Amino acid sequence: MKKALLLITLFILPLGLYLFLSSGVNSFGKLPVLKTEIVDPITFTENTKQIGFKDKITVLVFVGSDIENNKIAIMNLNQKIYKHFNNFDDFRILLVSDKESEGEITALMTQINTATGTDMANWNSIFLNDDSTKTLFDSLESPYLLDENNYSPYVYIIDKRARLRGRNDDQDIEGGILHGYNMESVSTLNNKMVDDVKIVLAEYRLELKKRGKMHRDI
């Protein structure tokens, strides 16, 4: 009897746990694609850094021109999202603002780095005029709006193919479509966005593994 229990503990339970986790990952599926034709910011002439969506999983943030009043939301995003994923080379946060706010954004990044010790290398900024900002925002086709300073509390997950990713079965939203994540809400970042970014990153890791296997098989 003792030998049977020992056998179950050492071999059967770990195997069962592995199968359970494997099936869970497979059934979890992919994060839905909500929009496939988002304007790439690299097309805007005033995007002097020539930053686009290609080859990066991007958290897109319309931070606007009133950086001081939106500071807490950006710090939430750093604490709850960026610090989880900043070690991934293919992940970044992209702030959209105007040229006049460049100094304030630089100062805020320095402040966050000093206060938290966070490596801010995967925080990027582009500075667009009002028309380009609205063109980019409108291409998301989300139900949200920019305020008079071109700020939105909602941030967006854009994949490496410049597609908007989100949820189509969110129980907290009428119709179930979750286009963006409210960075002013710590619970939304913790309970929804962390998981969804993990899914998108896992998708690409799985793709890379499959490609590697294909090359080995060849």
List, for residues 26-35, the tens digit of each pLDDT value. 334 689 999 9
Distance CA 196, CA 168 (A): 12
Residue with tokens 């610090």: 83
Query: Does the pLDDT at position 21 exceed 50?
Result: no
Cβ-contact 40, 162 below 8 angstroms:
yes
pLDDT given for residue 5 in this prediction? 52
Q: What is the mean pLDDT of the chain?
A: 87
Residue 57's φ and ψ, nearest 5 degrees, are: -85, 115
Spatial CA neighbour of 121 closest among 97, 159, 88:
88
Spatial CA neighbour of 193 closest among 110, 108, 73:
73
Q: What domains lie within the chain, and their CATH numbers?
A: 33-217 (3.40.30.10)
List, for residues 152-199, the tens digit of each pLDDT value. 999 999 999 999 999 999 999 999 999 999 999 999 999 999 999 999
pLDDT range class, residue 86, cuts 50, 70, 90: very high
Query: Does the pLDDT at position 12 exceed 70?
Result: no
pLDDT given for residue 151 in this prediction? 97
Spatial CA neighbour of 92 closest among 63, 125, 58:
58
pLDDT range class, residue 218, cuts 50, 70, 90: very low
Query: Does the pLDDT at position 17 exceed 50?
Result: no
Query: Does the pLDDT at position 123 exceed 80?
Result: yes
Per the DSSP assignment, residues forming a β-bridge with 123 are 93
Distance CA 61, CA 96 (A): 6
Q: Where are the alpha helices (DSSP H) in 98-168?
A: 102-116, 130-139
